[in-house]
Amino acid sequence: MAKRLTDTEKWDDPWFRSLSPVMKCIWIFLCDRCDNAGVWKKDFEIMQFFIGQPIEPDKALAVFNDNKKRIVPIGEDKWLICKFAIFQYSNNPKMYKHINDLCVKHGLDIDTLFIGYQYPIDRAKDKDKVKVKDEGVVRGNKADYDLSWPISYLNSLLGTRYSTTIRSNLDVVKARYSEGRTQDDFKTVIDKKVAQWRSDEKMSKYLRPETLFNRTKFESYLNEPTTKVDDNGVPLEFRTKDNLVRR
């Protein structure tokens, strides 16, 4: 299993501190044993073997979802750790293709994954359905994935739900790619403007695809002084407890 980030602030979280020793072990086990999309295939026998204590799945699910949705069942055999992927990989564009492939495997939508689920999922009822609103974004297609990535990344930082299938959003992204811009260029622009405007009541409304990826504005945004970031690539200006997403 590859190395992963860990949320050292969980020890200051009243919710985590209130967990019993067994529940703490279960939570850490899930975060270590899930795949890179945050999906764990249920195996309570092996969980119990490693933890050394009896496991009550229904009780664990209720405890983890107390006052906040943290675990979402997927069908009958999987659990999803909400916002695991955004915590681990929101600042690592190279992982997005891999995460997208896992989403296809699990029947999940990558945009929803990077925002966080708000409702239970039962893919057994609609496992043959694929969330595609028009021909704009088709899962597993690299060209369509590249078009949707800047919008998904913006959503992951802001918690917004800008559509990756609306033509007006995709057109401005496609136009910048056609000029030779890269995924790293989009990330640079998004990071800079989010750092500058996120806390600005007047300017925050312009943190949207039509403004950030506009033909005349994109060039100037890209060439502005580089925003300082921490070791994880998070711009220092908006590195707060609220947007350092807990696992």
Shared domain check, 157 and 99: no
Shared domain check, 150 and 90: no
- pLDDT score recorded for residue 87: 79
In a domain, 239, yes or no: no
Shared domain check, 144 and 125: no
Cβ pair 54, 48 in contact under 8 A: yes
Shared domain check, 96 and 205: no
- pLDDT score recorded for residue 228: 58
Shared domain check, 50 and 75: yes
Per residue in 156-184, pLDDT tens? 888 888 888 888 888 999 999 999 999 89
- pLDDT score recorded for residue 227: 52
7-16, 115-124, 146-155: which range is least confident on average?
A: 115-124
Please give the structure tokens belonging to residue 150.
């800047």
Q: Helices 44-51 & 21-33, crossing angle to 10 degrees? A: 120
Shared domain check, 104 and 34: yes
Domain that holds residue 159: 138-225
- Mean pLDDT value across residues 82-110: 75
φ/ψ of 56, rounded to 5, equals -115, 95
In a domain, 221, yes or no: yes
- Final residue of a structural domain among 131, 150, 175: 131
This prediction has a pTM of 0.48
Domain count, the chain: 2
- pLDDT score recorded for residue 28: 95
CA 236 to chain centroid, in Å, comes to: 19
137: left (phi over 0), alpha (psi -120 to 50) or beta: beta
Q: Which residues pair with 235 in a beta bridge?
A: 229
In a domain, 116, yes or no: yes
Shared domain check, 208 and 165: yes
| CA 130 vs CA 107, 123, 144, 195, 203: distances in Å | 8, 11, 15, 34, 36
Shared domain check, 91 and 18: yes
> Does residue 6 surpass a pLDDT of 60?
yes
CA 97 to chain centroid, in Å, comes to: 13
Amino acid at 140: G
Which class for 118: exposed (0-12), middle (13-18), buried (19 or more C-beta within 10 A)? exposed
CA 55 to chain centroid, in Å, comes to: 28
- pLDDT score recorded for residue 114: 52
Please give the structure tokens belonging to residue 39.
């999906």
Please give the structure tokens belonging to residue 77.
């055999």
CA separation for the pair 160, 57 (Å, rounded): 32
Which class for 237: exposed (0-12), middle (13-18), buried (19 or more C-beta within 10 A)? middle
Cβ pair 81, 101 in contact under 8 A: no
Shared domain check, 184 and 87: no
CA separation for the pair 21, 24 (Å, rounded): 5
Cβ pair 161, 201 in contact under 8 A: no
In a domain, 238, yes or no: no
CA atoms within 13 A on the CB side of 132: 15
**Owner of token pair 């699910």:** 61
In a domain, 242, yes or no: no
34-38, 80-84, 108-112, 211-215: which range is least confident on average?
A: 108-112
Rg (Cα) of the chain, in Å, rounded?
Answer: 19
Per residue in 108-131, pLDDT tens? 766 555 544 333 334 344 333 333
Q: Which residues pair with 39 in a beta bridge?
A: 80
- Final residue of a structural domain among 131, 161, 184: 131
CA atoms within 13 A on the CB side of 177: 14
Shared domain check, 44 and 101: yes
Shared domain check, 32 and 105: yes
> Does residue 97 surpass a pLDDT of 70?
yes
Please give the structure tokens belonging to residue 66.
């107390």
Per residue in 49-71, pLDDT tens? 999 999 999 999 999 998 888 89
- Final residue of a structural domain among 131, 153, 177: 131
Shared domain check, 42 and 127: yes
In a domain, 244, yes or no: no
